[in-house]
Chains A and B, each alone.
Chain A
C-alpha cells in the first residue's frame, strides 16, 4: 500500500539524485573501470558513474525499502545485500550474502565480500529497531557487529560508510535543550543509574564509527540519527505502543515528541548515499507534538500511571513480555528528547515530506484499517 504522497516523495528523492551528480563522480572512474572489466567493452553514455552499494541488515524495514529504492536508481550498478535472511525487495541488481555478524568468522567473510564486489558505499543498518530481550545477541550484533563491519570496510577500502543511529540516544533529561544538536553528548546509556543495553550498544557502535572516521581520513563517514520512525507500514516498538487500545503514560507529564515518517527516513539514507557529506546528522520530521496529543490523534486512550509505580510495573510487564519496551523508556514519557534537524537541512539538503503530525495521522489511518482487520501486519 503506497499512499500517493509517499510516491511523490520517493519521486522527489530520486529527482534529487539527478541533481546531486557531483556526489557520485569521484567513484565514477572506479565504477567505469569495473564495468569495463565486467562486460569486456567500455561503456559509452552520458552517465557512466555507477556505484556498488552494500547494505547490512538488508531485510530490515529500512534495508529492504532502501534496496527497493536503489534498484530503481540507474546509477547504482549493484546492490550487495548482507543479512541473515534475504530482503523481499531484491531484484536483478541485488546480490544477497548470508552473513551472521554474531558469528566468529563474520569479519573475514564480510571483508571478502566487500573486496570481491568492490563495494564503494556501505550502508550499515544492522541494528535492532526495537528493544529486545535477547540482550547478549543485540550486543554482539550492534556493538561487536559494527566493529566487524568497520574492520572489514577498512580492509576492503570502502569509500563511504553510512550508519544508522537514533536521536533516542541523546536520552530524555529535564536538562535537555528543546532541540538537541549533533554536538550534544549521547546520554541515554545510563538512565537513572541503570545501564540500558539497547542504548549503550548503539552508543558503543557510534563510538566505533567515530574512531573509524578519525583513523581513516580518506573515508566518508555519515551517521544519520533518525527520530523515532512512524508510518503506515513500519513495525517497531513505537507503532506497537501506539496501537494499544489503552496507552500507558506518565501521570502529570506530557513531553513534546518528534517523529520521522518512514518515507523520509528512507529518503534520508538515499540522500546520504547519493551525496558525500561526512558527519553526524539528526534526521527528524518538522514540528513537535505533546505526547498526549499524539495519543489522541491516534484515537487511543491514555492511561496515566504515577512514574514511581510505573517503573516497577513496567519492569514486571517487560519481564512478562507484555510491555513493548523496558522500564528505562519510561523516561521518554516524562522528559524531552527532541533533536534539531537544521544541520541536515542545510548541509545534507534533507527536507522531510511529512511533519510529525502528518506522520502520526498517516500511521493512524493505516492503524485504523489494521484495527478493523482490513489490513494485515
Chain B
C-alpha cells in the first residue's frame, strides 16, 4: 500500500536528487499558486485535523478524508507541472517582492537584512508546509492502520515510529532546531515525505497505481453509503432556500431567485406602466387597496414587483390572499414564500403592527371570479373589514387601480358543482383553459397599468369608529368609488388591450 511506496521508489529511480530539487524550488513555489490554492489548502488541512475529533467516528472518516486529500493533491500537482511552472515561479517572485515591501516599510534601516529575512521566511514557510504534509500523512497512516487492524489484515508495520517526534506540535524550542535543519539537507525527509510531486510525476508508474487503488476504494465506499447522498441532497436542496423565514413564511433567498422571472413578467411580458408610485409612503405602515382580477391571482405579485422596482425606497409588499390558494398544491407555498399572507384580521393587524406595507384585495374571490362581461366593475367590498382594520390601527389607505389583468385569462363561465371536492371556489372556463389543459392557464400578454391614487387618511376618526357599521360602510364605499373612477379613467384612455 501507500506507506511502502517511498522506499520502493527510491530504490527504483534516481529520485532523491530530484526530490531535493523539488523541495527547494518547486514546492514552495507552488504554494502561492494564486489566491485560490492557498485559500483552499489551508482550511483543508485544518478541517482535516479537526474532523476526527469532532466527529465520533475517527478512523473511517480520517481514512476517507485522507483519500480525498490525496486526490486533491494529485490534481493540484498535475496542474502545476511542466508548462505551468515558469509562470508560477514568476508569481512567486512577485509575492516575495510584495512580502519584502510589506516587511520593509516599518523598519527601513534593515533593508538589506530584509532580503535574507524574506528568503528565510519563504523557506520556513516551505518547511512548515512540509511538516504539515507529513502530519497529514501520519494521520492517514494511523487511521489506515486502524482500519487494517479492524479488517484483520496482516499488513507490515509502517515505519511511522521514526518520525513520530515530528508529530508533536511545533514548540518554540523546536523552532531553533528546525532553522538549523533547513540549512543542512535533512536525512529523514526523503523517506518520510509523501511528496505530492512524486505522486503526480509518476502517475503512470506502477507504484502510484496502488495508491490510486486505495483512493478509488475509499471514494467508492463513500459514494456507496447512503449518508453521502443524504448529506449532498440536503445541501443541494437548501440552495434556493434560506434557513430562516420571517413570521409569515417570506423567504428572502427564494424571492431573490424568483426575482428574475417576476422582473421578466413585469417589464417584458406585461410591460407594466406605473403612475403615482410616489403616493406610497417610503416608511411606516400603509394599506394598498386594489381591484382584484384575472383568473389567476397574478395582480398581487405584480403589485409587489411594482413597488420593488419603481419605488424610490423599495419595500416588500405583503399582500393578503384568499384561503383557497392554500388548498392548491404548490401555489400556496410558492405564494407564501414570495410574501403572500392569508387574509384575516389577525394577520393583517400583526403585519401593520410591524409597520409593513400591506396590499389587500377587498373584492376577494368575487373579484377573481368576475365574468369577462363584468370586467372592471368593482364587486362589493366584502364587509368593510379593511376599513375596520385601518380605523383600528390608524393606518392610511392608498387606492390602487390595476388595468390589464382582467384580460389575461378572460373568464367565460364558472363551474361550481365540482369545485367543492377540489377545495376551489369554482372551476374557471376560459377560451383556453380546459381545452388546452394546464397550458391554457398561461396568461395572455396584455399591457398592464398600475395606478396609485392619493393617500386617504382616516386619522380624523378615532379607533372606536371601527364599531360604527354605518361609517365603515360609507368609508368603504368611498374607497370603492375612488378606485372605480381611477379604473374608468384608465380603461377609457386605453386604446388597445395588448399595446396600451
Give the Cβ gap from B482 to chain A, nearest Cβ, in Å: 29
Q: What residues on A are CB-neighbors of B350 within 8 Å?
A: 178-179
A30 at the interface (CB under 8 A from B): no
Choose one: B245, B323, B337; the contact of A175 (CB below 8 Å).
B323
**Does A254 have its Cβ within 8 Å of any Cβ on chain B?**
yes
Q: A255 — which chain B residues lie within 8 A by C-beta? A: 333
Docked complex Cα distance between A179 and B329 (Å): 22
Q: Given known contacts A290-B249, A293-B243, A372-B56, is B347 in contact with A299 (CB within 8 Å)? A: no
Interface residues of A in 285-342 (CB under 8 A from B): 287-290, 292-293, 296-297, 299-301, 306-307, 335-336
* B109 interface contact, C-beta 8 A: no
Q: Do B342 and A174 have beta carbons less than 8 Å apart?
A: yes
- B241 & A296 in contact (Cβ 8 Å cutoff): yes
Q: How far is the CB of B339 from chain A (nearest CB, A)?
A: 13
Q: Tell me if B230 and A369 are in contact (CB < 8 A).
A: no
Q: Contact between B245 and A179 (Cβ–Cβ < 8 Å)?
A: no
Number of interface residues, chain A, beta carbon within 8 A: 34
- Interface size on B, as a range, is 35 or more
B243 partner residues in chain A, CB cutoff 8 A: 293, 297, 357
Cβ–Cβ contact A256 & B249, under 8 A = yes
Interface residue ranges of A160-206 to B (CB < 8 Å): 174-179, 181
The segment from A60-68, A72-80, A245-253 that touches chain B is A245-253
Q: A290-B333, A372-B57 are in contact. Are A178 and B342 (CB under 8 A)?
A: yes
Residues 335-375 of chain A, each 1 if its beta carbon lies under 8 Å from chain B, else 0: 11000000000000000000001000000000001001010
Given contacts A296-B234, A357-B243, contact A335 B326 (CB under 8 A): yes
Provide the residues of chain A in CB contact with B329, threshold 8 Å.
250-253, 306-307
Q: Tell me the total A-B contact number using a CB cutoff of 8 A.
A: 91
| Closest residue of B by beta carbon distance from A338 | B247
Q: How far apart are B248's CB and chain A's nearest CB, in angstroms?
A: 5
Is B244 positioned at the interface, with any CB of A under 8 Å from its CB? yes
A296 touches B333 (CB 8 A): no
Residue B418 lies at the interface, judged by CB distance under 8 Å to chain A: no
Query: Which B residues lie within 8 Å of A357 (CB)?
Result: 243-244
Inside 8 A of A374's CB, which chain B residues have their CB? 56-57
Instruction: Verify B230–A256 contact, CB threshold 8 A.
Output: no
Q: How far is the CA of A174 from the CA of B234 in the complex (A)?
A: 28
Q: Is the CB of A252 within 8 A of B230?
A: no
What is the bound-complex CA distance between A300 and B226, given in angstroms? 11
A177 touching B342, Cβ below 8 Å: yes
Judge if B177 is at the interface, Cβ distance under 8 Å: no
Point out the residues of chain A lying under 8 angstroms from B245, CB to CB.
Answer: 256, 288-290, 293
Collect the chain A residues with CB atoms within 8 Å of residue B347's CB. Answer: 177-179
Q: How far is the CA of A307 from the CA of B329 in the complex (A)?
A: 9
Is B107's CB within 8 Å of the partner chain A? no
Q: In the complex the two chains form, what is the Cα distance from A198 to B29 in whole Å?
A: 70
Q: Could you tell me the distance between the alpha carbons of A115 and B324 in the complex, rounded to whole angstroms?
A: 54
Flag if B233 contacts A293 (CB, 8 Å). Answer: no
Q: Which residues of chain B from 349 to 407 have any CB-CB distance to chain A below 8 Å in the complex?
A: 350
In the bound complex, how far is the Cα of B237 from the Cα of A256, in angstroms? 17
Supposing A178-B350, A252-B333, A374-B56 touch, asked if A299 and B234 sit within 8 A by C-beta, the answer is: yes
Residues of A near B247 (CB, < 8 A) are 178-179, 287-288
Q: How far is the CA of A226 from the CA of B408 in the complex (A)?
A: 46
Q: How far is the CB of A196 from chain B (nearest CB, A)?
A: 20
Residues of chain A in range 224-263 having any CB-CB distance to chain B below 8 Å: 245, 250-256
Residue among B56, B57, B337 with most chain A CB within 10 A: B56
Whether B116 sits at the interface, judged by CB under 8 Å, is no
Residues of A near B241 (CB, < 8 A) are 290, 292-293, 296
Q: Cβ of B186 < 8 Å from any Cβ of A?
A: no
Q: Of residues A176, A307, A357, which shows the largest number of chain B Cβ atoms within 10 Å of its Cβ? A: A176
Give CA–CA (A103, B330) in the complex, Å. 49
Inter-chain CA distance A2–B479, complex, in Å, is: 59
Q: Knowing A288-B249, A293-B245, A296-B237 touch, does A178 contact B341 (C-beta < 8 A)? A: yes
| B231 contacts partner chain A, Cβ-Cβ < 8 Å | yes
Residues of B195-249 contacting chain A, CB below 8 A: 226, 230-231, 233-234, 237-238, 241, 243-245, 247-249
* Most chain A beta carbons < 10 A, residue from B57, B328, B344, B346: B346
Q: Give every chain A residue within 8 A of B341 (Cβ-Cβ).
A: 178
What residues on B are CB-neighbors of A176 within 8 Å?
342
Q: How far in angstroms is the closest Cβ of chain B from A270? A: 27
**A264 and B437 alpha carbons, distance in the complex (Å):** 51
Contact in complex: A301, B230 (CB < 8 Å) = yes
Can you add 17 more A-B contacts, CB < 8 Å, to A178-B248, A251-B329, A255-B333?
Answer: A175-B323, A175-B342, A177-B344, A177-B345, A177-B347, A178-B341, A181-B346, A253-B332, A256-B249, A256-B336, A289-B244, A289-B245, A290-B337, A293-B245, A296-B241, A297-B243, A299-B230
8 interchain residue pairs of minimum CB distance = A252-B329, A254-B333, A177-B346, A174-B326, A252-B330, A374-B56, A256-B249, A299-B234
17 A-B pairs with CB atoms under 8 Å apart are A174-B323, A174-B327, A174-B342, A178-B247, A178-B350, A179-B346, A245-B230, A252-B333, A253-B332, A254-B336, A290-B241, A293-B238, A296-B234, A299-B230, A299-B231, A299-B234, A336-B342
Give residues in A with beta carbon < 8 Å to B.
174-179, 181, 245, 250-256, 287-290, 292-293, 296-297, 299-301, 306-307, 335-336, 357, 369, 372, 374
